A and B are shown apart, each in its own frame.
Chain A
């Protein structure tokens, strides 16, 4: 149980274009999902918290107009990188929180490798 998927796993796009990444909880409902980015050999950096049916909460320094997050259902959150630039190239990982009965575990997707040329 508690499986999270991401799509696509890899994407290459040209500078100036937009890319959408999907995060799905496959066998549970998630009111809250999180988006992280990870640079090579570094830790995960929280970008934003995505709440179903409401606006995302962004961490300090993360541009909300550049990284658009939509959490339209209890099993799907999307991250859209708008007007991508080479410095946006990174490994993007989502997680979904299992809730209820005192559990607050987070399960992570397999990640999406974004390369902007």
Chain B
């Protein structure tokens, strides 16, 4: 079945540090790729997306490149801020648009 693996647990950078959160997926069909962000007590929000190979999703300084050859969609940022602290989920979805498959989530806690 379809699956996704992302950096697990907590990531604890300081403000100004660079960030990479890994995401690797395995799907039977050609997926669209999403990163969602969730703040405490809220539902996930769409953070960025890439619909096909070599597309780059961008939002608020974050980027993720759709790499079909390595089946990856790593989330990157050059300089994190304390306000970026949240839980991030990588979520592929096949082109037919069935339910998203969520990774286990990565908790980003940025210290000032």
Contact = CB atoms under 8 A, between A and B. Distances in A.
Q: Is the interface of A mostly helix, strand, loop or mixed?
A: strand
Interface in A103-117: 104-111, 113
Interface residues of A, number: 23
A49 interface: yes
Given A43-B102, A43-B104, A99-B97, A105 B43 contact: no
A44 B88 CA distance: 12
Contact of A108 (B43, B51, B104): B43
A34 B46 contact: no
B47 to A, nearest CB: 11
A106 B44 CA distance: 10
Interface string B77-112: 000000000000100010111111011110000000
A58 to B, nearest CB: 12
A109 to B, nearest CB: 5
Given A43-B103, A110-B42, A111-B41, A105 B89 contact: no
Nearest to B36: A108
Contact of A105 (B46, B99, B102, B105): B46
A24 to B, nearest CB: 13
Nearest to B97: A104
Interface in B42-97: 42-46, 49, 51, 89, 93, 95-97
